[in-house]
Structure 1
Amino acid sequence: MVVSQKVVVFVDPTTLAALKDLGYALYALKGFETTNAQGKALVWGETTAFADTTTFISTDEYQAFVTKEVVTGGVVLKEITFADVALGDIATFDGSGSLKVTTGGYPAGVTIVNATTEPYTAGLSARSMDAGGNFSPVAGAPLYGLSEDVIVPVDKFLVTFSTAGVPVGAPLAHSMTQSLLIDMTGQTLLEGTFDINKGWTFDGAPWGETVPAGADLFAVLVKEVPLSSAD
């Protein structure tokens, strides 16, 4: 059964006007663990059409992907070879233009194998119901020839307002405002309120944590797990 998780962001009229004047967008990113220290969190949701109430809806449906593009700066991942996967699957790329999906991988994650001798970028996408049900990248990491990456989705969700122009599928290393890191473990609906001067409030609930403006969002969202721990 598909599990849906919803995050609702509230802003007051003064904050809404200020954010629009600043030319900011509302971004959403998701956390993950990986065997690759170069893993980067990618923008999963982005909108400049945010209002006093904006909702992001995520499900536990995933796609593995490989691409020749490198995750840097504002590069958006395109020309992607992808396949639907479930946790525990192995997605193997042999250069033929498709990913072969088999079972028997690390149960809590997705294993992506490069059976060629060429370097690629590998990653994981998650379904975004607010994006019309399409899949959007959440993680990207280099995948060299005859190697594999393991990516493990975790129930961490980050929302933040920052300068517009970073599209879905591109990395967002820093935000210009305080961010809200949300632990969605066991949750289906959580709400947070952003004030342009006071930052995020969430009734002091244990599932929320504020992240200072300018902080390294990759360090917040991505955790390297040695291969021995992922076996």
Structure 2
Amino acid sequence: MATYYFERDTGTLNAGRVREIIVQAGKDTGSPSDYNPENYSYSEESSKKVTAKGPETMKVNKLEKAATELGFKTTSVTVVEGLDADRHPLAASAEALAATDYGVQITMDQATVTALASGNYSLYGFKAVQTTVGGGMPLVWFKSTSYGLTTDVNWQIQFEAYTSQSQIIPGGQITGLNSYPATLGQQLVVDSPQGTGTIQQGTPGNIAVMNQTSNPFTCGISEVVNGTAEPLCAFPLYGNGLDAMVPIEKVMLTFATKQVNTGTVIERAYSQSILVDLTSATQRAVSFDINKGWSWGGYGWGQAIPANQNVVPILIEDGASYRSGARTLLG
């Protein structure tokens, strides 16, 4: 069983309109029986929010598209599987980590694709984490020039914990990784001057790096994107210190002419970017225009990031704010 949260930023919403949205979404799929409004019970939480409880057979992106088609614009949909409504949305962001495959589909017109290619633009991706550790910086997670009218960015919930002797300098690159496959609840225990170690049991809910030497290192998390594990953040790891991090499903995408490699430390957005929140859905769809920038239907899961904005607090979230409520993310 799942709970779907239908919310509007502007305008009103009621159970009747939600039923219409479900029916409309079923018309755009080969399995309309999966979108039967009779399979759900409804609760009008407010004039802008309605919950529907029932089987988790409906896709969030199809429901949001159907709402737009019916004129119920700025309607966002969140689905939480097996969780009570009073735990939303805090629990949703943590439980979403149990999913295995995520993706963002980018659509562009021919003029935009031609302009990007002729202008030597690359598509850059960045991933967010939560932590209480200070001094951390986001890294270029992936870089690609393989884009077209429809471009799919896909990643899997496969993590690694790493150490490096590179310095965390804006514009610098983190190289020479000692990287080990790790899952939530595990920690990399460093026991050599080179930064190597072993994966051991840690604290549930996070990935940690414990330094049992007196040597300082840089450490962080890598995640598989398009088939390759790439580092997405970097933190100072002091002698005999412990850094704990929680990867979250928020990605920032940007097209830019700046030529840097994966693992490069970023402090400010290279160009206008979009932050996409996938903590409540495994797939999102956005579009990009070379002149108009990013668009996503105005839903609450998207956020425009201006060029040159400081992205450190956006991609390195303060985990202390998540210590209350349904779940303690950091030990």
Structure 1 and Structure 2 fold alike (TM over 0.5): yes
Match of 1:206 in 2: 300
Once residues 78 and 36 of structure 1 are traced to their aligned partners in structure 2, the CA distance between those partners, rounded to angstroms, is 21
Q: CA deviation at 1:8?
A: 1.1
**Cα separation, 2, equivalents of 1:150 and 1:11:** 38
**Residues 99-114 of structure 1 mapped to structure 2, 5 A cutoff:** 99-105=197-203, 107-114=204-211
Quick one: distance in 2 between partners of 1:85 and 1:161? 31
Rounded Cα–Cα distance in structure 1 between residues aligned with 2:240 and 2:321: 16
Listed as ranges, the matches of 1:118-133 within 5 Å are 118-128=215-225, 130=226, 133=227
SS of the aligned residue for 1:23 comes to coil
Q: Percent identity over the alignment?
A: 29
CA distance in structure 2 between the aligned counterparts of 1:164 and 1:96, rounded to whole angstroms: 35
Picking from 267, 286, 303, the partner of 1:173 is 267
- Aligned equivalents of 2:99 and 2:285: distance in 1? 21
1:12-61 Cα offsets, whole Å, 9 max, x none, are 12222222333221111110012222111111111123222221111111
The whole-number CA distance in structure 1 between the counterparts of 2:147 and 2:276 is: 19
Q: Taking CA–CA contacts closer than 8 Å with sequence separation of 6 or more, which of the two structures ends up with the larger relative contact order?
A: 1
Residues 153-207 of structure 1: per-residue CA shift (max 9 Å, x gap): 1111111111231111112222343211111013121111011221111122221
Pick aligned residue for 2:316 from 218, 222, 225: 222
Partner of 1:151: 245
The whole-number CA distance in structure 2 between the counterparts of 1:54 and 1:67 is 32
Q: Tell me the distance in 2 between the aligned counterparts of 1:120 and 1:207.
A: 35
Is 1:45 matched with 2:142?
yes
Task: State yes or no: 1:80 paired with 2:177.
Answer: yes
Distance 1:153 1:8 in 2: 21
Gaps of 5+ in 2: 1-97, 324-329
The question of whether the paired residues in 1 share the 8 Å contact of 2:258 and 2:270 is answered with no
- Residue deviations 1:70-108, cap 9 Å, x none? 122333322211111110112110116532211131x22
> Which digits, 9 at most, give the CA deviation of each residue in 1:123-178, with x for residues without a partner?
100011x2xx2200011111111101111111111111112311111122223432
Q: For the residues of structure 2 that align with 1:166 and 1:144, how far apart are their CA atoms?
A: 27
Structure 2 counterpart of 1:44, one-letter code: W
TM-score normalized with structure 2 length: 0.64
Whether contact under 8 Å (1:82, 1:99) holds in the other structure is no
CA RMSD of aligned residues (A): 2.0
1: CA distance between counterparts of 2:155 and 2:228?
A: 11
Give the helix-richer structure, 1 or 2. 2
Alignment-derived partner of residue 33 in structure 1: 130
Does structure 1 retain, via aligned residues, the 8 Å contact 2:174–2:265? no
The CA distance in 1 between the partners of 2:202 and 2:100, in whole Å, is 23
Structure 1 residue 11 displacement after superposition: 1.7
1:10 to 107, 114, 123: 107
What amino acid sits opposite 1:47 in the alignment?
S
| Cα distance between partner residues in 2 of 1:37 and 1:162 | 28
SS at match of 1:205: coil
Q: Which runs of 5+ in 1 are unaligned?
A: none
Question: Structure 1 residues 227 and 217, CA, compared in 2 at 3 Å: closer, same or farther?
Answer: closer
What is the alpha-carbon distance in structure 1 between the residues aligned to residue 176 and residue 264 of structure 2?
Answer: 14
- C-alpha distance in 2 between matches for 1:74 and 1:182: 24
Structure index of larger Rg: 2
Structure 2 partner of 1:24: 121
Q: Which moved more, 1:175-184 or 1:221-230?
A: 221-230
The AA in structure 2 aligned to 1:117 is: S
Matches of 1:104 and 1:73, distance apart in 2: 30
Could you tell me how far apart the structure 2 residues matched to 1:227 and 1:51 are? 39
Letter in 1 for 2:126: L
Q: 2:263 is matched by which residue type in structure 1?
A: G
How many pairs are equivalent?
227
Q: For residues 126 and 151 of structure 1, what CA distance do their matches in structure 2 show?
A: 13
Contact 1:162 1:175 in 2 (8 A): no
